[in-house]
A = this chain, B = another copy of it.
């Protein structure tokens, strides 16, 4: 397409605020048009979106909250925003030029005019799959890195438990933990995922939480001496069972609570007294506080990928029209690995 041309632009908008479980009908694909040209003097960037990311936090932005939270809701009728990998078609911003590959906050549409350019990063290493920049080399990657190394202060030999362990973040936490000599057990929701944890990501043990009617008993089986570090992705009943199985001076890094995002009222967690009796530290984090670590994280992780010391499994869906169902699938555990939507191949 030529610069200045008016092109059609398919978009996914939020149609209804979501209550309970999200439905495909809560989103809608609409067709718009966009001029392939950045308004002069605007410092904006016009991109063609290649890969879009499905992340659990996006569900939180689909609820109309009674009080404002960190996760500001999507305005009703607006195009959904999220992480993506994109190609610059035109730029009025000095840091970006036509042809650059970038990743960061974009929108669920074919072409985006991005004015919030501080949320964009130029991709310099292009000898890895570009979709990695919304996974292992993007927000999930640095979440795993910060949440494990910075929040948990892990030591060699410690016993680490990861829930949602085959997901975008969990698979990386397990590999980081193994890289420093921890003993790692993960849980996931299918035999296929459990097999992946052991065969592909090198977890010492793994189990299917859906087959365990007693999570406390399951954890006691895999951690007869207790858990030093819990990387929390799910919340609810799992957290309650974990608290009973933590060791003294254990650490819990709270990355997310995906089991709770579709509930009107989150489940209660009952065993918090364990925080006292076992002197546990439980700490939530958001990657946004830790972007200064990104350069060191990127260098280290790229190196490990190239050396074959880290792997990443993605679940790739083709077509923007399939993005809503892919996002919803996160909450039923349909995805195996990081959920990626391909909007266009370069």
Contact = CB atoms under 8 A, between A and B. Distances in A.
Interface in A95-136: none
Interface of A is mostly: loop
Interface stretch (A11-19, A30-38, A183-191, A263-271): A263-271
B272 A70 contact: no
Nearest to A270: B266
A254 B277 contact: no
Interface stretch (A76-84, A154-162, A280-288): A280-288
Given A282-B282, A283-B281, A283-B282, A256 B271 contact: no
A276 B289 contact: no
Contacts of A286: 276-277, 279
A257 interface: yes
Contacts of A69: 277
- Stoichiometry, as copies per complex, reads 2
A286 B276 CA distance: 7
A249 to B, nearest CB: 8
Contact of A279 (B244, B257, B274, B285): B285
Instruction: Give the interface size class of chain A.
Output: 35 or more
Contacts of A239: 272
Interface in A42-74: 67, 69-71
B289 A284 contact: no
A33 B78 CA distance: 82
Which of A71, A269, A272 has the most C-beta atoms of chain B within 10 angstroms of its own C-beta?
A272
A278 interface: yes
Contacts of A270: 265-269
A276 B260 contact: no
A3 to B, nearest CB: 41
A330 interface: no
Contact of A289 (B279, B283, B289): B279
B257 A273 contact: yes
Given A239-B272, A254-B272, A272-B235, A277 B284 contact: yes
Given A268-B267, A270-B265, A283-B282, A256 B276 contact: yes
Nearest to A286: B279
A316 interface: no
A281 B112 CA distance: 38
Interface string A321-334: 00000000000000
Contacts of A272: 235, 239, 254, 257, 266, 269
A224 to B, nearest CB: 13
- A-B residue pairs, 10 tightest by C-beta: A268-B268, A275-B284, A276-B284, A70-B277, A281-B283, A266-B270, A282-B282, A254-B275, A269-B269, A268-B270
